Amino acid sequence: MIDAHAVGSALGMLFSSATPWLVVVPGLLIGLVLGAIPGLQISMAMAIFLPMTLYMDFMQAMLFLTAIFTGGSFGGSIPAILINIPGTSSAIATAFDGHPMARRGEHNTALGLALGASCAGVLIGYTILFLLIGPLSEAVLRVGPAEMIMVIFWGITLIGTLSAGSLLKGLLSGCAGLLVGTIGYSEAGVARGTLGIPNLLDGVPVIPAMIGMFAAAELFRLTGQRYLVDDEALRRVRPRRVLDGFTTSLGRPGIVVRGSLIGVFVGAIPGVGSSIANLVSYMETRRRSRDPRSFGKGNPAGVVASEAANSTSEAGSMATLLALGIPGGGATAVMLAAFAMHNITGGPQFIREQTDVVYAIIIANFGQAFLLIGLGLLTIPLLATVIKVPMNYLVPSVLAVVVFGAFGLTGDMSGPVTVLVFAVAGWVFGRFGYSVPAAVVGILLGGIAEDQLIYTWQISGGKWTYLLERPVALALVVLLGLSLFGGRLARILERRARR
Partner 1 sequence: MHEPATNGARRQIADIAVVALLGLLTGLYLWDAVRASTAFLHLILVAPLAVLILALCLLVLVRTLATRPAADAGAGGAPRDEAAGALIAIGLFTAFVAALPWLGFDGATFLFIAAFLRLHGESSWLRIVIYALAFSLGLALGFSALLPYPMPMLLPAPGAG
Alpha-carbon gap, residue 173 to 157, rounded angstroms: 10
Query: What's the farthest any 2 CA atoms get from each other in the chain?
Result: 74
SS (H, E, C) 404-423: HHHHHHHCCCHHHHHHHHHH
Could you tell me the smallest distance in angstroms from the CB atom of residue 219 to partner 1? 8
**Cross-strand partners of 191:** 185
Kindly provide the residue ranges of all beta strands, DSSP E only, lying in 105-234, ordered along the sequence: 184-185, 191-192
Residues near partner 1 (CB under 8 A) are 48, 165-166, 168-169, 171-172, 175-176, 178-179, 182-183, 186-188, 190-193, 216, 219-221, 223-224, 391-393, 395-397, 399-401, 403-404, 407-408, 411, 413, 416-417, 419-420, 423-424, 427-428, 430-434, 449-450, 453-454, 457
- Is residue 86 within 8 Å of 211, Cβ to Cβ? no
Could you tell me the smallest distance in angstroms from the CB atom of residue 472 to partner 1? 21
Alpha-carbon gap, residue 280 to 263, rounded angstroms: 9
Distance of CA 143 to the CA centre of its chain: 20
Computed on alpha carbons and rounded to an integer, the radius of gyration of the chain in Å comes to 22
Could you tell me the smallest distance in angstroms from the CB atom of residue 432 to partner 1? 5
Could you tell me the smallest distance in angstroms from the CB atom of residue 195 to partner 1? 8
Could you tell me the smallest distance in angstroms from the CB atom of residue 225 to partner 1? 9
For partner 1, the closer CB: 189 or 498: 189
Q: Output b/e per residue, 338-367; b: 16+ Cβ within 10 A.
A: bbeeeebebbeebbeebbbbbbbbbbbbeb
Alpha-carbon gap, residue 434 to 418, rounded angstroms: 20
For partner 1, the closer CB: 132 or 420: 420
Could you tell me the smallest distance in angstroms from the CB atom of residue 405 to partner 1? 8
For partner 1, the closer CB: 267 or 416: 416
For partner 1, the closer CB: 126 or 427: 427
Q: Look up residue 320 and give its amino acid.
A: T
377 burial level (CB within 10 Å; 0-12, 13-18, 19+)? middle
- Is residue 91 within 8 Å of 77, Cβ to Cβ? yes
For partner 1, the closer CB: 190 or 497: 190
Could you tell me the smallest distance in angstroms from the CB atom of residue 158 to partner 1? 17
For partner 1, the closer CB: 16 or 189: 189
For partner 1, the closer CB: 119 or 439: 439
If one counts every other C-beta atom within 10 angstroms of the C-beta of residue 387, the result is 22
Could you tell me the smallest distance in angstroms from the CB atom of residue 484 to partner 1? 13
For partner 1, the closer CB: 357 or 395: 395
